[in-house]
């Protein structure tokens, strides 16, 4: 009997705790692991950015941060004066709203808040400026579309509207091409 009790004690001490064991913490889902959180991953990487004429207009580094929950953008325009057009954005899929969100800030003190979704092969985020135009009383709308291309590049098309979305003009049209690895 004594050896049976000893065997039982040994088995209990080497057997993993069950889910019903109050001493075992419950298993938590991995944050940001749903497929929606990966919809913008095509933008990750080191990029040289060109305008439609092929002129270099900046560089961008997009990285996954905070356990893969956020894409952080580090934009450098190389403008004049140096650094004047630099900016950063933080992008995340908000599971509570079911939408992507972007918070952009730049070296001019500008900020832009956008939200939207991945649809028809592109990420489309939109928003509006916080202050309406003094003459028209209409706040400028912004819409940015990122489209991954078959060659691995990404097109970013930024459009603005000053007539409440009736017409749109191109504010920026950039082709993101991956930087060559050293």
Dump pLDDT digits (tens) for 66-101.
999 999 999 998 766 666 789 999 999 999 999 999
In a domain, 32, yes or no: no
Classify residue 40 as exposed, middle or buried by CB count within 10 Å of its CB (0-12, 13-18, 19+): buried
Q: Tokens representing 17?
A: 């705790």
Question: Is 50 exceeded by the pLDDT of residue 17?
Answer: no
In a domain, 27, yes or no: no
Per-residue confidence (pLDDT) for residue 29, from 0 to 100: 72
Residue-wise pLDDT tens digits, 21-59? 667 777 777 789 999 999 999 999 999 999 999 999 999
Q: Considering its fold, how many domains does the chain have in total?
A: 1
Per-residue confidence (pLDDT) for residue 81, from 0 to 100: 65
Query: Residue 145 belongs to what domain range?
Result: 44-178
CATH code at 171?
2.40.128.20
Question: Is 50 exceeded by the pLDDT of residue 6?
Answer: no
pTM: 0.81
- Contact status, residue 178 vs residue 153, Cβ threshold 8 Å: yes
- How far apart CA 165 and CA 119 sit, in angstroms, is 19
The residue to which tokens 């000053």 are assigned: 162
Contacts of 55 (CB under 8 A, 6+ apart): none
Question: Is 80 exceeded by the pLDDT of residue 13?
Answer: no
In a domain, 24, yes or no: no
In a domain, 66, yes or no: yes
% of the chain at pLDDT higher than 90: 69
DSSP annotation string for 31-92: TT-SGGGGTTGGG-EEEEEE-TTS-EEEEEEEEEETTTTEEEEEEE---SSTTTT-EEEEEE
- How far apart CA 159 and CA 20 sit, in angstroms, is 55
In a domain, 20, yes or no: no
Nearest to 93 by CA among 118, 75, 61: 118
Per-residue confidence (pLDDT) for residue 83, from 0 to 100: 64
Confidence of residue 10 (pLDDT cuts 50, 70, 90): very low
In a domain, 53, yes or no: yes
In a domain, 15, yes or no: no
Between 37-46, 133-142, 145-154, 162-171, the lowest mean confidence (pLDDT) is in 133-142
- Contact status, residue 147 vs residue 122, Cβ threshold 8 Å: yes
In a domain, 76, yes or no: yes
Question: Is 50 exceeded by the pLDDT of residue 3?
Answer: no
Per-residue confidence (pLDDT) for residue 153, from 0 to 100: 97
Q: Of 6 and 129, which is predicted with more confidence?
A: 129
Residue-wise pLDDT tens digits, 112-142? 999 999 999 999 999 999 888 888 889 999 9
Per-residue confidence (pLDDT) for residue 133, from 0 to 100: 84
């Amino acid at each position: 009997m004594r050896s049976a009790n000893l065997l039982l004690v040994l088995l209990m001490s080497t057997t993993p705790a069950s889910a019903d064991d109050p001493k075992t913490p419950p298993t938590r889902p991995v944050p940001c692991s749903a497929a929606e959180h990966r919809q913008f991953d095509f933008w990750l990487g080191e990029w040289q950015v060109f305008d439609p004429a092929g002129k270099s207009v900046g560089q961008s580094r997009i990285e996954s941060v905070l356990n893969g929950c956020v894409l952080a953008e580090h934009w450098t325009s190389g403008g004049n004066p140096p650094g004047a057009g630099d900016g950063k954005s933080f992008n995340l899929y908000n599971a509570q709203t079911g939408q992507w969100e972007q918070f952009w800030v730049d070296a001019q003190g500008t900020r832009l808040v956008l939200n939207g979704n991945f649809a028809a092969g592109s990420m489309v985020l939109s928003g509006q400026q916080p202050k309406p135009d003094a003459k028209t009383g209409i706040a400028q709308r912004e819409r940015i579309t990122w489209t991954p291309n078959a060659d691995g590049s990404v097109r970013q098309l930024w459009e603005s509207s000053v007539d409440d979305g009736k017409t749109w003009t191109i504010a920026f049209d950039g082709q993101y091409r991956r930087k060559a690895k050293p």
